[in-house]
Chain A
Amino acid sequence: MLFEALTLQLGYNATLVTIGSLLLGIAAGATGTFLFLGKRALVSDAISHATLPGVALAFMVMVALGGDGRYLPGLLVGSAVSSAVGLLCVSALSNRTRLSEDAAIGAVLSVFFGFGIVLLTVIQSMNAGRQAGLESFLLGSTAGMLWNDALVISLGGALVLCLMLLLRRPMTLVAFDPEFAAGAGMNVRRIELAVMGLALAITVVGLKIVGLILIVALLIIPAVAARFWSNRVGVVVILAGAVGGISGYSGAALSATAPALPTGPIIVLVAFLIFTLSLISAPNRGILTAFLRHRDFQARVHVRQGLLALAQGQPIYEKLTLRLMQKRGLIRADSVATEAGRAQAARALLDERRWQLLRSDPAHEGAAAHYDGLTPLESVLTKDQLAELDRSLGPEAV
């Protein structure tokens, strides 16, 4: 069943939803990266909640004009307008008053959402006979997705991706160093608004599939997950797009296999799974590598101290040191040094003496800065320098 879903063989609607989610995920992941890098990931929360009054107002206007209130492009235009107003409110509150941006975001999202709820209850009483079903915008609903809806989503996603490609350089610059960008003659405020405008477009396009509460997840989670794997903006953007796309595709396919698996939450949970895996296993920044790196460092410190103790004929009591040295074949079970152990111990002691001499001489200040008790001096100085150092060490040391 899952295989059929993944290969798009579960019927027309499921195929539409899966491809739509794939495109939405790619566009959302790539766009969200710029929000995340600029440390304003939660602006998307304000954007998405602020769509609700627009959806409701658009519905009311379309019904008042005698049309079908559920016409998707109309609703999307309404939601875009109201979340743009919300964005401008966030921007005005945080730029013009002393309030910080997070307070502005929280105020806008709760007030707009509250007002949207008021409008929804107005709609419910307006024509009880024709239940508008606008609540489906809260959590998304893919059951009745049509070809036109899929087209709107694909075109919107593609448009956002193109704009993002065009604006990637200024957006990167503003995300990392707004002062420099301003100094280089860029209009920082306008570029920030452009980043948020792209996020807004994604939010509007994604309303139908994942709903306004969970679209935030698609903008934030892929970017955060991708950030673990690379330090280069271009790579992070591509990876975030990939994470978003995989989440969208497999999430939608998974949800098509059973009736009680709502699309939006499944997509978000798949993304969260990828995030968790990245958090644990990514090279450099992952928890697992950090843990291994720590273990490795700990072992090197213990072995080094153990070798120095061996060379100076001192007994070793520390259990971890004993175990580590035994495992490396440096000592026997009765704590007596092996051949290899004695050789390495002598080398460690020589290294330590060289370091001591080096650090006592101000002429070697630059090299002495490399001292951490682990790095062998051979990797810092040249052979000639070492030979010179050994001459002043005296014959008994070597």
Chain B
Amino acid sequence: MGEEFVALSLPPILIGIFASIACAIPGNFLVLRRQALIGDAISHVVLPGIVLAFIVTGTVSTWPMMLGAGLAALVTVALIEIIRHLGKIEPGAAMGVVFTAMFAAGVLVLEQSDTSSVHLDVDHALFGNLESLIWLDATGWSSLTDMEALHGLPPELTRMAVTMAFVSLLTWVFWRPLKLSTFDEGFARTLGLPVVAIGLGLVIVAAIAAVAAFDAVGSIIVIAMFICPAAAARLMTNSLEAQIGWSIGFATISAIAGYVLAGYGPVWLGFDNAVSAAGMIATVSGVILGLASIFGPCRNRVGLRG
């Protein structure tokens, strides 16, 4: 059991946890700033980004695809802002126009180009391939101290760990300006803080987290983790520090419980096939949010009862 667990389940669980936390931390600020759907828009345009990268390079390799996805995310954010200002359209509609059109373009180009020979499709961008990120060199718990075997760890694990560390570090360094500009933009501006740059930086960090995560775990987890843990945490506490703590906890629980339910749940129920881990992680995070919205101590708006 131990050997099988370390080789087949430990790496995906860890990757899931890292990806969830990397998305949940910026998600807290996005939810507070009412920009929660930026994450949704970014994860939709990941598809045209990777298709573009594939057409340019002709291969399915990680770095060009992540670059393409990152580029697409930046183009989307820029387009949304341009259309919002030039057309004087409300942000939600501008977002809806941009990301659906870019997604459609991605699907069209995908159909046009000869990608049938490689594993590059809509499903992949949506669902990821969490279950396939296994550690073949592992022979048991002892492998965790064996340098030789550690080299065989899936590269996604290191990448997600680095992304998570990067996101946490940035949040820690820019904590005060971020917090100030999120809660009281006018006050932050009078203090001389570059409010626009902070907002843009937050969106870029979110895009980095989303792009790093989609390859390993797919877009669904990215959208769910941007919003659900942060939203649930918002219903638990009034302090931002505590909210971040709750959201990290919720993200971790969703990742572990989701993976275990997807991998072992059907077996316990007597079926022999596992179900989608990415989908199950998103589902569990939704269940947590549902519970928080019913029992959370700070679920009501201030001044409302019942």
Binding site for B on A (CB under 8 A): 36, 39-42, 44-45, 92-93, 96-100, 102-107, 109-118, 120-122, 124-125, 135, 138-139, 213-214, 216-217, 220-221, 223-224, 227-228, 260-262, 264-266, 268-269, 271-272, 275, 279, 285, 287, 290
Q: SS class of chain B's interface: helix, strand, loop or mixed? A: helix
Query: Are the CB atoms of B278 and A117 closer together than 8 Å?
Result: yes
Does B275 lie at the interface of the complex (its beta carbon under 8 Å from any beta carbon of A)?
Answer: yes
Query: Are the CB atoms of A268 and B100 closer together than 8 Å?
Result: yes
Instruction: Choose one: A115, A220, A271, A287; the contact of B93 (CB below 8 Å).
Output: A220
Query: Are the CB atoms of B40 and A221 closer together than 8 Å?
Result: no
Contacts of B208 in A (CB 8 A): none
Contacts of A260 in B (CB 8 A): 111-112
Q: Enumerate B250-306 residues with CB–CB distance to A below 8 Å.
A: 262, 266, 271-276, 278-283, 285-286, 289, 293, 296, 298-302
Instruction: Choose one: A113, A135, A266, A271; the contact of B220 (CB below 8 Å).
Output: A113
Beyond A107-B289, A224-B89, whether A217 also contacts B101 by CB under 8 A is: yes
Nearest chain A CB to B174 CB, angstrom units: 22
Does B224 lie at the interface of the complex (its beta carbon under 8 Å from any beta carbon of A)?
Answer: yes
Contacts of B153 in A (CB 8 A): none
Beyond A97-B293, A118-B280, A265-B105, whether A138 also contacts B122 by CB under 8 A is: yes
Instruction: Choose one: B275, B296, B299, B301; the contact of A121 (CB below 8 Å).
Output: B275
Q: How far is the CA of A348 from the CA of B298 in the complex (A)?
A: 67
Q: Enumerate B69-98 residues with CB–CB distance to A below 8 Å.
A: 83, 86-90, 92-97
Query: Are the CB atoms of A102 and B220 closer together than 8 Å?
Result: no
Contacts of B231 in A (CB 8 A): 93, 99, 103-104, 107
16 pairs, A vs B, C-beta closer than 8 Å: A42-B95, A97-B299, A99-B31, A102-B92, A103-B34, A106-B39, A111-B285, A114-B279, A117-B220, A214-B103, A217-B96, A260-B112, A269-B101, A272-B100, A272-B104, A279-B83
Q: SS class of chain A's interface: helix, strand, loop or mixed? A: helix
Known contacts A107-B231, A111-B289, A114-B224, then 12 further A-B pairs from the complex at CB < 8 Å, ordered by chain A residue: A40-B92, A42-B92, A42-B95, A45-B96, A99-B234, A106-B226, A111-B228, A114-B278, A116-B279, A121-B273, A214-B100, A221-B100
Contacts of B92 in A (CB 8 A): 39-42, 102
Query: Are the CB atoms of B227 and A221 closer together than 8 Å?
Result: no
Q: How far is the CA of A98 from the CA of B235 in the complex (A)?
A: 7
Q: How far is the CA of A40 from the CA of B95 in the complex (A)?
A: 12
Contacts of A285 in B (CB 8 A): 87-88
Residue of A whose beta carbon sits closest to that of B288: A111
For the complex, count residues of B whose C-beta is within 8 A of A. 68
Does B202 lie at the interface of the complex (its beta carbon under 8 Å from any beta carbon of A)?
Answer: no
Query: Are the CB atoms of A265 and B282 closer together than 8 Å?
Result: no
Query: Are the CB atoms of A135 and B123 closer together than 8 Å?
Result: yes
B 241-256 binary contact with A (CB < 8 Å = 1; else 0): 0000000000000000
Query: Are the CB atoms of A262 and B107 closer together than 8 Å?
Result: yes
Contacts of A93 in B (CB 8 A): 231, 293
B 97-128 binary contact with A (CB < 8 Å = 1; else 0): 10011011101100110000000001100110
Contacts of B212 in A (CB 8 A): none
Q: How far is the CA of A112 from the CA of B104 in the complex (A)?
A: 22
Q: How far is the CA of A98 from the CA of B296 in the complex (A)?
A: 11
